[in-house]
Amino acid sequence: MTVTTPSFERISGILAFLDEANRLKDTLRSGRTPEGRQESTAEHSWRLCLLVMLLAGELEGVDVLRLLRICIVHDLGEAISGDVPAIEQRAGDDRASRERADLVTLCAALPEDLRTEIVALWDEYAAAASPEAILAKGLDKIETMLTHSTGKNGDDFDYRFNLGYGLAATGRHPLLRALRAQVDARHRAILDRQQSS
């Protein structure tokens, strides 16, 4: 087997990008861990990829590696401008174009082929037209809802919000609908416990 060593410039560009992408570890989301700490966007993306890995055997006709790659890049732009909590997102808020512009900025140090690939994966996610992007969008919502159901949230946390959250994204595939049903049941159980106490 022949091994080709990348050029110094290529390695330097990759390392510079990784230095910037590392900011995703400090980009906080509204979700809480089981101990009550705010989760980072990097933690969300990691668990989303873990979810894909665990479901891989159920994803007939889906390019699982492509799905994982989409999940890894879907929130990379948040390393620059941060996360907008789901409860604060509004149609027409231009969030997607800002996040894409941030991603392009973040990828500036990368060699052109890698920069093009990452931005294309993000664009595929944003369009949600391929089977992989449809699943990435839906699983992204489900992972967020799972975090809400297991996190140590404040007393004012709105569990009812989750019952309407991401319905379009989680309704586009039978597996997403099956997962959604169980996650919704978790939130209803939490609401029932709150009402009875």
Confidence of residue 26 (pLDDT cuts 50, 70, 90): very high
C-beta separation of 44 from 98 below 8 A: no
Domain boundaries, the chain: 8-196
Domain 8-196 has CATH 3.20.20.80: no
Give residue 142's identity as a one-letter amino acid code.
Answer: I
Distance between CA 26 and CA 33 in Å, rounded?
A: 15
| DSSP states of 57-119 | GG-TT--HHHHHHHHHHTTTTHHHH----GGG--TTS-HHHHHHHHHHHHGGGS-HHHHHHHH
Segment 93-152, tens digit of pLDDT: 788 899 999 999 999 999 999 999 999 999 999 999 999 999 999 999 999 999 999 999
Segment 41-59, tens digit of pLDDT: 999 999 999 999 999 999 9
* Burial label, 81 (beta-carbon count in 10 A; 0-12, 13-18, 19+): middle
27 has which bridge partners? none
- Per-residue DSSP letter, 33: -
Is the per-residue pLDDT at 88 higher than 80? no
Confidence of residue 197 (pLDDT cuts 50, 70, 90): confident
